[in-house]
Amino acid sequence: MLLRRVVVGWAMLLSLGWAPQDTPKRGLVTFVEGTAKKQGIQETDWSSVQLHSEVSTGERLRTFNDSRAELDLAKLDRIRLAPKTTIEILKLYEETKEKVLESQIALQRGDLWANVAKKPGGLKFAISTPVAAAAITGTTLRLHVDPDSSAELKVYSGEVVLRRQTAPAQGAVKSLAPHQIDGPQQVSGPQQVSMEQWTLIVRSMQKARIDKKGQVIQSGAFSEQDADENQDWVKWNRERDQAQQR
């Protein structure tokens, strides 16, 4: 049902003459609990994030203890930050040489929940960590980065193409377009991947864990009954996703 709504929504926008270049290049803070701050380009100070304030390319956001925040991007995608989380907005619907509007967000530490709508051909969305980058469309996911830069991805619906991060996830990040690597592997159960560069397709109710050296050390299925899925953070996101789909 949700997929049908998304498809119908895009059809209506196109019928009204909407084009990818019409997408706003700013995000909107739609929820703040506790303390959240942002840092602009070339700024050293952090300023408090207020409800309904805007965020744009080049800005960093962080939450503190017992705090969380939500960003609405072009009314298409939602990003939520758990307590003690830092992200950098590398690109926000910026046009590439291929006339594609691309968004890239770097999760530097903490826990991030993303609900990303299915994209037409003119839009791309990616979230990177220090050790891996994820190309996303029509996906609900959770991404965590530990203090040592190791990361874990969990996909609740949709599909993510996960690749080893070959450049620092700060400033300009290399394109996620295919480059000289082996072909994608479908997650089929616990396994180890030791390739120097790798690509992994992670589908609904599957997870992958990457160590601080950028190697996949675990992949396979997970269950809603897992202890990790009973966290208040997960429950809150699921409830908020359901409420916003109505």
32-34-43 Cα angle (round to 5): 75
How far apart (Å, rounded) are the C-alpha atoms in residues 174 and 162? 14
Q: Are strands 101-116 and 123-128 parallel, antiparallel or unpaired?
A: parallel
Q: What is the pLDDT of residue 96?
A: 86
CA–CA dist 246, 238 (Å, integer): 13
Q: Residue type at 86?
A: T
* pLDDT tens digits, 179-234: 344 455 555 554 454 456 899 999 999 999 999 999 999 999 999 999 999 999 99
CB 59 within 8 A of CB 41: yes
Output 153 or 165, whichever has higher pLDDT: 153
Asked if residue 242 has pLDDT above 80, the reply is: yes
Instruction: State how far Cα 59 lies from the chain centre.
Output: 16
Predicted TM-score (pTM) of the model is: 0.80
Number of neighbouring beta carbons within 10 Å of residue 41? 9
Q: What is the pLDDT of residue 116?
A: 93
In this structure, the dihedral spanned by the alpha carbons of residues 174, 186, 235 and 72, taken in order and rounded to 10 degrees, is 30
| Segment among 21-30, 140-149, 232-241 with least mean pLDDT | 21-30
Quick: pLDDT tens for 75-104: 779 999 999 999 999 999 888 888 888 999
| CA geometry: angle 30, 106, 22, nearest 5 deg | 55
Residue-wise DSSP of 28-58: EEEEEES-EEEE-TT--S-EE--TT-EEETT
Confidence of residue 42 (pLDDT cuts 50, 70, 90): confident
**Per-residue model confidence as pLDDT tens digits over 107-129:** 999 999 999 988 777 788 999 99
- What is the DSSP secondary structure assignment for residue 5, as one 8-state letter? H
pLDDT at 113: 98
Q: How many residues does the chain have?
A: 246
Cα distances (angstroms) measured from residue 61 to each of 41, 49, 123: 12, 8, 23
The larger pLDDT score, comparing residue 174 to residue 191, is at 191
Mean pLDDT of the chain: 83
Q: Which residues pair with 133 in a beta bridge?
A: 128, 163
Q: What is the pLDDT of residue 169?
A: 52
